[in-house]
Structure 1
């Protein structure tokens, strides 16, 4: 059976753990060569080793434009093009209205919005007709959660980017879609500043709102990203694909 991404060159930002790492593994299994980025060299090296062949790690912070320039210089030198961008890097913490600080706001928007925007924009010179861009949004664009307003606002911006960039790039034949995971425990949950017991309490509460009665896994999100990256989704453009067990749909 032919592999879905045979011969393609892909970039996965934040590919050193969680959904990004699971997606990089799936991309390689489907025949792609994958560049992954991460801020911590040790984790990045471990991720590349775990993927095995056809993976290249580049240390960098997407919120820093010089880092992005260096990332694309390396990709240009190594492969000369990009066929798939999964703009996955992001994060955020909990802060209820009344306790939101400038630092919290700036840090979250700089990574999730500014960093994502320039990740995509700076990739464009390396992208050809038929390329695919996938933006990692979140089911929080639809379902409210206490203390999540800043994070949710950044992901709503990501959803808006997909709609608008679909039009901006239509003449180039580049598709742009957003994927919105539901509750998928990953190391990124550590950024919320909660104890393990608090994280488990959050998960237990959320499970009650998920029709499938469980949380998702990074690999389940990765399989959906492969769909959006491949020709299987050749007539799919500008959508928000929820992979959330039905949580945001009821």
Structure 2
């Protein structure tokens, strides 16, 4: 198994890409700690994942929650080898409608939260650990109503380079980025849109993707397994796109 005896932490691990990643890690032999904001969702994920999993409610915008998460993981499992900074939330709106509160919400709940997730984990990470951040293919393209969402994801992608440069010389910690394209996750059900609009949105995404389908959380999770394992030992500061060719091909 690729992650045998490894200990991993997955933020936002109660649904979607985070939950799929926790499942794949566990299947590959890792012990897993997950966190999320919603206690009921965390409880459901715990039942789905089974034993050898630590789950707890934590908000990445609260440093005290992050400290509690990493301290509890080390107390429970003894170490941390892999960190997947997956948690985050964004808003889509035209630039002229973005107020300061919306701007701060996006940055706090994604870029800032990701940065401090990594910073607060550092004292608990093993030398040679793997850190994986989640960006998006849309960060390198321009779409209507995506200004702050895309800029936020571009900032997260930059973290993989900058933090790798900080940590590699002294601690051999690798930081890499996964940028998913449109992935069919429960996020679409949380948009507050009528079901027919959600279906229409998904069909629109499919037309933008050369493979003509949306990705699955499991397809992203398998890339996370690669980046968390020794198979990626020569991969540092990189971005791996999981988008069905979106942004790369025109077919």
Q: Calculate the TM-score normalised by the size of structure 1.
A: 0.96
8 Å contact from structure 1 (residues 37, 44) kept in 2: yes
8 Å contact from structure 2 (residues 71, 124) kept in 1: no
8 Å contact from structure 2 (residues 10, 18) kept in 1: yes
Q: How much has 1:190 moved relative to structure 2?
A: 3.8
SS of the residue aligned with 1:125?
helix
SS of the residue aligned with 2:96?
coil
The correspondence of residues 182-197 of structure 1 with structure 2, limited to 5 A, is: 182-197=181-196
Quote the Cα distance in structure 1 between the aligned partners of 2:223 and 2:192.
29
8 Å contact from structure 1 (residues 80, 126) kept in 2: no
Q: How much has 1:56 moved relative to structure 2?
A: 1.1
Q: Does 1:152 align with 2:127?
A: no
Quote the Cα distance in structure 2 between the aligned partners of 1:177 and 1:112.
16
Q: Could you tell which deviates more after superposition, 157-166 or 189-198? A: 189-198
Quote the Cα distance in structure 2 between the aligned partners of 1:97 and 1:17.
29
Q: How much has 1:22 moved relative to structure 2?
A: 0.3
Structure 1 residue aligned with 2:87: 89
Q: Does 1:106 align with 2:101?
A: no
Closer/same/farther in 2, CA of residues 116 and 132 from structure 1, 3 Å limit = same
8 Å contact from structure 1 (residues 93, 192) kept in 2: no
Runs of 4+ aligned structure 1 residues displaced above 3 Å come to 190-193
Q: How much has 1:189 moved relative to structure 2?
A: 2.6
Q: How many corresponding residue pairs?
A: 248
Quote the Cα distance in structure 1 between the aligned partners of 2:97 and 2:167.
39
8 Å contact from structure 2 (residues 180, 242) kept in 1: yes
Closer/same/farther in 2, CA of residues 189 and 93 from structure 1, 3 Å limit = farther
Quote the Cα distance in structure 1 between the aligned partners of 2:194 and 2:142.
22
Q: How much has 1:240 moved relative to structure 2?
A: 0.6
Q: How much has 1:71 moved relative to structure 2?
A: 1.1
Structure 1 residue aligned with 2:37: 39
Structure 2 residue aligned with 1:130: 128
8 Å contact from structure 1 (residues 93, 193) kept in 2: no
Quote the Cα distance in structure 1 between the aligned partners of 2:61 and 2:45.
21
Q: Could you tell which deviates more after superposition, 232-241 or 141-150? A: 141-150
8 Å contact from structure 1 (residues 15, 24) kept in 2: yes
Structure 2 residue aligned with 1:234: 233
SS of the residue aligned with 2:97?
coil
Q: Could you tell which deviates more after superposition, 99-108 or 174-183? A: 99-108
Quote the Cα distance in structure 1 between the aligned partners of 2:118 and 2:206.
33
Q: How much has 1:143 moved relative to structure 2?
A: 2.3
SS of the residue aligned with 2:208?
coil
SS of the residue aligned with 1:141?
helix
Q: Calculate the TM-score normalised by the size of structure 2.
A: 0.96
Q: How much has 1:101 moved relative to structure 2?
A: 1.9
The correspondence of residues 11-26 of structure 1 with structure 2, limited to 5 A, is: 11-26=9-24
Quote the Cα distance in structure 2 between the aligned partners of 1:80 and 1:45.
23
Q: Does 1:178 align with 2:177?
A: yes
Quote the Cα distance in structure 2 between the aligned partners of 1:229 and 1:196.
36
Structure 2 residue aligned with 1:204: 203
Structure 1: gaps spanning 5 or more residues: none
